[in-house]
């Protein structure tokens, strides 16, 4: 119960319920869970190229030759990568920062995978093709720390001459103007596009 209670979102009562469920469950089910947790820690490690968790040397996206390896989408967390993958609108590859710069929480730029990203851009595809990275899409969260992280990365990438873009910001599709807050509406007006 003590171990289960350390999981996020699981309080003392839920931990108790889970523990009794495991006690009643078959050996197979309970040991299956234990095995899966052990595998998670021993088999899963960051992709050598983009730091997305994977079992292999490189992740599924980096290993897929049909994807556009000259466009890199930079995300904070693996779950952001999954969210963008689920749209099916992105054909490039990724780079997972593993967090955002937050000096107050003691997270500096050096704690993220920014150096590896800069090295990726500097060396090009690195598959012997000599092809260069064309575009870096900064897809950090549209928050203060996400914007700060993007700004820092953009300043590092600028001297390398690579095209740097960021996700569009504005009204969420399906929303209503009257319920949008002032910041969202200001962004939507200032970043307006040709129809």
Least separation in angstroms between residue 143's CB and a copy of itself is 6
Q: Determine, following the binding rule CB under 8 A, whether residue 123 of this chain makes contact with a copy of itself.
A: no
Residue 14 buriedness (CB in 10 A; 0-12 / 13-18 / 19+) = middle
Q: Are the beta carbons of 34 and 55 closer than 8 angstroms? A: no
| Cα–Cα nearest to 154, from 143, 139, 168 | 139
Please count the other Cβ atoms lying within 10 Å of the Cβ belonging to residue 12.
11
Which CB atom, from 15 or from 184, has the smaller least distance to a copy of itself?
184
Least separation in angstroms between residue 14's CB and a copy of itself is 22
Q: Determine, following the binding rule CB under 8 A, whether residue 190 of this chain makes contact with a copy of itself.
A: yes
Applying CB under 8 A, among 89, 110, 130, 159 the residue interacting with a copy of itself is 89
Q: Are the beta carbons of 141 and 84 closer than 8 angstroms? A: no
Least separation in angstroms between residue 82's CB and a copy of itself is 8
Which CB atom, from 132 or from 166, has the smaller least distance to a copy of itself?
166
Kind and range of the H or E element at 68?
A: strand 68-75
Under the rule (CB under 8 A), what is the footprint of a copy of itself? Answer: 73, 75-77, 79-80, 82-84, 86-90, 137-139, 141-143, 150, 154, 163-178, 180-195
């Amino acid at each position: 119960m003590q171990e289960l209670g350390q999981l996020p979102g699981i309080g003392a009562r839920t931990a108790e319920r889970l523990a009794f469920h495991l006690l009643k469950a078959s050996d197979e089910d309970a040991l299956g869970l234990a095995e899966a947790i052990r595998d998670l820690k021993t088999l899963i490690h960051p992709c050598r190229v983009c730091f997305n968790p994977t079992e292999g040397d490189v992740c599924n996206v980096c290993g897929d030759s049909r994807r556009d390896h000259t466009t890199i989408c930079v995300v904070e967390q693996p779950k952001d990568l999954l969210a963008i993958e689920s749209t099916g609108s992105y054909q490039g590859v990724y780079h997972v920062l593993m967090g955002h710069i937050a000096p107050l929480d003691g997270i500096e730029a050096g704690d993220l995978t920014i150096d590896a990203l800069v090295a990726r851009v500097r060396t090009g595809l690195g598959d012997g093709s000599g092809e260069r990275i064309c575009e870096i899409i900064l897809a950090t969260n549209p928050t203060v720390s996400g914007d700060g992280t993007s700004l820092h990365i953009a300043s590092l990438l600028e001297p390398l001459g690579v095209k740097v873009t960021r996700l569009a910001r504005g009204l969420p599709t399906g929303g209503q103007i009257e319920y949008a807050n002032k910041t969202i509406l200001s962004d939507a007006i200032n970043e307006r596009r040709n129809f």
